[in-house]
Structure 1
């Protein structure tokens, strides 16, 4: 396949993935923030206490109410598409369609291993820190889940949070880097696109997101003061060395180091925020080394733009969720 056709196919796949994930919430500078307001979706009723279930609307928030018990489930999972396990079978019954919440995500696997007395998963594809405290509204319409924080309560003893990637514009970064990878005018077309007036735009976004993560951790502590809070980082996506794998992720070779730095920078910020908030950071990057997108099926934890196993493009597959669950479980038991 020629370079032009390859890029066209890659762009089409990314666009399709964006639609599947709800194309993020409402507009923001980084392409990830959401506004307030209510969704027009109707809650689907399932048995109280099951993942994706609810008993009554969450006061003052609108949208599909978060699963609720009088004081919150023992274990509550919060987060974005990496936490939700987007497009990995099977979708949690009764959960909002746009969230694409998998029953094989790391939270479900962790809950099963710990045999917790009650568990609520409110993770959702395309979520940003803003969607933790307000209903998540999707550009493509559909059910609008209530604020993820509504699932928390004083009886909650364990919380996992995986967030931040959409705040820095993960979808935009993917699309930009793939679309510019054929630009021969510069060896680093993606880095150039995110450099304004000599400054790294993504580094600034990570810095700005730190304050949002800090505020989110404070809210969790206020709502669930006795909970063990685990802030889950992002796994290794690109190989640590070499020229990458254009068939899986068509990115200019010169941009690979830059993007590796973005992932490491995001994780470093999350680790620092966890330490500041007396939460526990879960490193999924280190155990994910050697399981990057360029590895063969059965080894890779993260899929490329044309997934070989069920998962969203550039997202963890079932094996990746299992690997992340092992890291989460180790900290939860520690």
Structure 2
């Protein structure tokens, strides 16, 4: 699928769609479409908004897709401005890697699978929006590399540490040199290639769709000293036992992922748009106390199994979800008014 011929075909389809749009009625380029815009939301747990209850149940229960995730909130924000989205599907699913856009995804229970996310695209889809890349990078494994507590208490967070024989206390050094750096470089190369494939596939299966890749909100603040204080009402530090020296390394890794995603959108045949959440959430990280938009690693989320809450594992809380929705809605409004 990711061949020069396929990319040329996708580029031609996008160009044709652009020409048709330019050939529309006079003045139409300055106003959002009056008819509802057929839209598909895709993505991983940051689009599904893992941790926010209640979540959708049924065949996709273990996707942990919140009923009020950012696609739902952004759709309402746009409706309030007179911009209607016809949401054909929201196939975002916790744990999704980029390749689950074109391959089925196995969920927590063995044998329970969901179809490839690209199956939701239709010929008349005009907007495709979502976040992917963090799981392919292995950010959960990176967190476990840096935290003894996650290695023992993070049983619901998929993945193992990159190298369980290396002490968590030395994870900063591990990712900056030797095998850890080589592993990380290889993962970034994989993310870049897979995002190129994802954007090509959207253009192929939905030739007239505007493609919007949504980045991830910032987790670690510039001033990491703020991470040495628990949030109001919490006893655990925002990043549990991850050392202060390792936090800048985690931030550098996230910033690099953000740059890779931004470049993938910019380099896509026909062009794609990018929502830079990292740039807009520096004052609302997991370490910003009452203003935090990210739930702490081991802070109780809204989801319960029996009598026990599942931790946030550094996912957006309700404040963070609303910040995601605002940035996405603003970008979609801008795109549809172009």
Instruction: With the length of structure 1 as denominator, give the TM-score of the two structures.
Output: 0.72
Which of 98, 107, 110 is the equivalent residue of 2:74?
Answer: 110
Deviation at 1:201, TM superposition (A): 2.6
**Paired position in structure 1 for 2:27:** none
Could you list the runs of 4 or more consecutive aligned residues of structure 1 that deviate by over 6 angstroms after TM superposition? 185-188
**Paired position in structure 2 for 1:31:** none
1:49-64 paired onto structure 2 within 5 Å: none
Q: Is the 2:101–2:116 Cα contact (8 Å) retained in structure 1?
A: yes
Deviation at 1:88, TM superposition (A): 0.5
Q: Cα deviation per residue 1:171-205 (whole Å; 9 max; x = unaligned)?
A: 11111111299xxx999611233343584432331
Larger CA Rg, structure 1 vs 2: 2
Q: Is the 1:203–1:265 Cα contact (8 Å) retained in structure 2?
A: no
Gaps of 5+ in 1: 1-72
Alpha-carbon distance between aligned partners in 2 of 1:212 and 1:161, rounded to the nearest angstrom = 14
Provide the alpha-carbon RMSD of the alignment.
Answer: 2.4
Equivalenced residue count is: 259
In 2 relative to 1, CA 192–95 (structure 1 residues): closer, same or farther, beyond 3 Å? same
**Paired position in structure 1 for 2:238:** 248
**Paired position in structure 2 for 1:322:** 322
3-state SS in 1 of match to 2:129: strand
**Paired position in structure 2 for 1:39:** none
Alpha-carbon distance between aligned partners in 2 of 1:198 and 1:80, rounded to the nearest angstrom = 25
Alpha-carbon distance between aligned partners in 2 of 1:133 and 1:198, rounded to the nearest angstrom = 29
Q: Is the 2:125–2:206 Cα contact (8 Å) retained in structure 1?
A: yes
Alpha-carbon distance between aligned partners in 2 of 1:148 and 1:140, rounded to the nearest angstrom = 19
3-state SS in 1 of match to 2:224: coil
Give yes or no for the alignment of 1:333 onto 2:338.
no
**Paired position in structure 1 for 2:188:** 206
Deviation at 1:227, TM superposition (A): 0.9
1:108-257 paired onto structure 2 within 5 Å: 108-114=72-78, 115-141=84-110, 143-179=112-148, 189-194=170-175, 195-197=177-179, 199-243=181-225, 244-245=227-228, 247-249=237-239, 250-257=241-248
1:70-109 paired onto structure 2 within 5 Å: 74-94=38-58, 96-109=60-73
In 2 relative to 1, CA 240–200 (structure 1 residues): closer, same or farther, beyond 3 Å? farther
Instruction: With the length of structure 2 as denominator, give the TM-score of the two structures.
Output: 0.71
Which of 249, 264, 267 is the equivalent residue of 1:258?
Answer: 249
**Paired position in structure 1 for 2:313:** 313
Select the structure that is richer in strand.
Answer: 2
Greater Cα offset, 243-252 or 313-322: 243-252
Q: Cα deviation per residue 1:277-321 (whole Å; 9 max; x = unaligned)?
A: 110010111221111111224x21111123255373211111111
Greater Cα offset, 91-100 or 286-295: 91-100
3-state SS in 1 of match to 2:114: coil
Alpha-carbon distance between aligned partners in 2 of 1:140 and 1:225, rounded to the nearest angstrom = 35
Select the structure that is richer in helix.
Answer: 2
Give yes or no for the alignment of 1:272 onto 2:263.
yes
